[in-house]
Amino acid sequence: MERRGFIKSLGAGALAAGSLAVAPQAVAAKAEFKWKMITSWPKNFPVLGTNANYLAKNIEQMSGGRISIKVYGANELVPPFEVFDAVSRGTAQMGHSGAYYWKGKHEATQFFGAIPFGMSGQEVNAWLYYGGGMALWEELYDKFNLVPTATGNTGAQMAGWFRKDINSLADLKGLKMRIPGLGGEVLKRAGGTPVNLSGGELFTSLQSGAIDATEWVGPYNDLAFGFHKVAKNYYYPGWHEPGSTLEAIINKDAFAALPDDLQAIVKQACKSANMDMLAENVAKNNTALDTLVNKHQVQVKRLPDDVLVRLHGLSLEVVQEVADRDPFSRKVYESYTEFSQRASRWTDISEFAYLQARAL
Q: Please state the domain extents for the chain.
A: 28-153+243-282
C-alpha torsion 99→144→150→95, nearest 10 = -80
Angle, vertex CA 200, rays to CA 199 and CA 204, nearest 5: 110
In tens, the pLDDT along 18-56 reads 333 333 443 445 779 999 999 999 999 889 999 999 999
Neighbouring-strand partners of residue 36: 70
Mean per-residue pLDDT, 250-256:
98
Section 148-166 average pLDDT = 97
Please give the mean pLDDT across all residues of the chain. Answer: 92
Q: Which of 131, 119, 124 is nearest to 247 (CA)?
A: 124
DSSP 187-218: HHHTT-EEE---GGGHHHHHHHTS-SEE--S-
For residue 200, the model assigns a pLDDT of 87
Per CATH, which fold does 28-153+243-282 belong to?
D-Maltodextrin-Binding Protein; domain 2 (3.40.190)
Q: 299: left (phi > 0), else alpha (psi -120 to 50), else beta?
A: beta
Q: Give residue 142's pLDDT band: very low, low, confident or very high (50, 70, 90).
A: very high
Q: What is the pLDDT of residues 329-351, one digit of tens each?
A: 999 999 999 999 999 999 999 99
Backbone φ and ψ of 212, nearest 5°? -95, -20
The alpha helices in 147-259, defined as continuous H runs, are: 181-189, 202-208, 219-225, 252-256
Residue pair 124/243 in contact by the 8 Å Cβ criterion: yes
* C-beta neighbour count of 20 within 10 angstroms: 9
pLDDT for residue 17: 39
Task: State the DSSP H helix or E strand holding residue 265, giving kind and residue range, or none if neither.
Answer: helix 260-294
**299-316 pLDDT tens trace:** 999 999 999 999 999 999
